[in-house]
Chains A and B, each alone.
Chain A
Amino acid sequence: MSDWITTAHVTVDPLPLDWRDQLAVRLGQRPRRIGPWAELALYGARLCLDAAGESALPAQAQLRVASLSGPRNATRQIVEQAQTGLPMPFSFMQSQPSQMLAALSRHLGWQGDARFIVSRDQQAVLDLALQECSAAGVLIGWVEEDRRTEWWRMVLRGP
């Protein structure tokens, strides 16, 4: 751990009422076709990169997202839809954590190693992420639906 430095750490808890408006202003548009949980991930990730002074995530950096809630509301909705027929495609997509990773990739203009990985032990997720990343480091966040988003930008300490 001592080889890594945290260049930004952002916690938003509780969420401001206008967080979605803030995100739309920052992106210059409202994100389309993603659910509230993915949008909250994007909100935190963007804030953290801004706090680190980075306009974009470097190509070799890695992205990790964890959550105990996951996209809970979308999951509940898709189960209800599937009980009565074919669910709406966007509802299904919003229930998949992988679609959140795709949204982050798209809106951060970045292609690379992104994963949704969860443990009860927050430190274990961070330790694993740091084992897996290069000197370009990691952007890692915990995103709990309707409640909070917390992100770290970490890079390898220079020589």
Chain B
Amino acid sequence: MNEVYLAGRGLASALGPDIGSGLVALGRGGGPPRRFELAGGMAWPLYTIADDEPDWMTRARRIIERVARESGALGGSRSGPLFVASSSLDIGSRENSGDFERDYQSFAELVAGWLDWHGPVFTVSTACTSSLNALLSARTLIRNGHADHALVLGVELRNRVSIAGFGGMQLLSADRALPFGKHRDGLVLGEAVAALHVSSRPSRWRIAGGANVVEGEDPAGTVPEAVVAMCSEALASSALAPRDIALIKPQAAGGPVNDATEARALRQVFDPLPPLVSLKAAIGHTLGAAGAAEVALLTACLEGGVWPRVDYAQDALLEAPLADRAPANAGHVLACILGFGGGHAAVVLEDRGR
């Protein structure tokens, strides 16, 4: 079995077009979401990537190429597997063109063409857990010697369907996301394109393990038993015990019920809870890109000594406070994404460069 490492990363989000600018913006506290207008005069907050190109495809291509380049993946052979992970894919383009004849793989193949990528191309669409599941698949192929590198792209770009859909389900906040906050009242969605270039070549971050657990009991909510199973399986696959985890990045999307359910389930597994961190108050919930986006940003934060501010009242009843600074020793990090459709996914990252 080969070990699998994070060779490089790229991220465009509301914080900036790349990791470096994103860290600077995060250090300054980030910025507020913009208003995204829907039909009928409705509008919801959305954390957007600053790029006003009106043509969806032109904008997507520019952002994706830049982020993939930032990850370093385009500097090599481009022959490993490419995973395009998204909950909305190119629906933003189809909304305008009305073209529903292109199939579910066509966007990923288009992206591969933009990147001049020659390896096998996969589309992963498991809602919010999409890019973590793609990362788990990439890890498997490298671990088993079927590839020596892979590129995971999490892509979630502006479209009416995602915002109107979550709005219609009454899952959105009208104001801002307050992960684990006392006054949390829903999600705020965000745009992101994230690239994780993974490789068998040793580097600072080892992808030690992970798990994906789907529980259909509540197709729109978090199921505590599934959170516990996800944590247990992720730890087992990493040959770790709960006490070995020094930092958890929970889903913490700001939903009144789901945040409480998640916090309660995490406390079942981890006693005491290690420090917690959330990035969604800065970039929003970036749906299928969230796993890759938050892994990219979190690892950069830990390397760069930048930490997201928690400038709102936390919910003491959750007994799961977000840390106001990075832990001194974040040797193993558990990064979780809980998703629409009963998905519960996590990866364990080992920091070898401390």
Residues of A within 8 A of B (CB): 63, 67-70, 72, 75-76, 78-79, 81-89, 92-93, 95-107, 111-121, 124-125, 128, 131-132
Which secondary structure characterizes the binding site on chain B?
A: mixed
**Nearest CB of chain B from residue A103's CB, rounded to whole Å:** 6
A96/B212 in contact, CB under 8 A:
no
> Which residues of B lie under 8 Å from residue A88 when comparing CB positions?
168
> Which residues of A lie under 8 Å from residue B167 when comparing CB positions?
86
> Which residues of B lie under 8 Å from residue A67 when comparing CB positions?
104
Cα(A124)–Cα(B147), bound, Å = 13
B95/A79 in contact, CB under 8 A:
yes
Instruction: Return the CB mask of B57-92 against A: 1 if under 8 Å, else 0.
Output: 000000000000000000000000000000100010
B168/A92 in contact, CB under 8 A:
yes
What 15 new A-B contacts, CB under 8 Å, besides A101-B214, A102-B214, A113-B213?
Answer: A63-B214, A78-B165, A79-B95, A81-B164, A82-B160, A86-B40, A97-B125, A101-B341, A102-B219, A105-B215, A106-B216, A106-B217, A107-B216, A119-B121, A128-B141
**Nearest CB of chain A from residue B15's CB, rounded to whole Å:** 27
B165/A117 in contact, CB under 8 A:
no
A117/B137 in contact, CB under 8 A:
yes
A118/B123 in contact, CB under 8 A:
yes
Decide if B117 is an interface residue (CB 8 Å cutoff).
no
Cα(A70)–Cα(B343), bound, Å = 18
Report which residue of A88, A92, A96, A124 has the largest number of chain B beta carbons within 10 angstroms of its beta carbon: A96
A116/B140 in contact, CB under 8 A:
no
Cα(A115)–Cα(B108), bound, Å = 17
**Nearest CB of chain B from residue A116's CB, rounded to whole Å:** 5
> Which residues of B lie under 8 Å from residue A132 when comparing CB positions?
136-137, 140
**Nearest CB of chain A from residue B336's CB, rounded to whole Å:** 15
Cα(A125)–Cα(B41), bound, Å = 43
B341/A98 in contact, CB under 8 A:
yes
> Which residues of B lie under 8 Å from residue A118 when comparing CB positions?
104-105, 108, 122-125
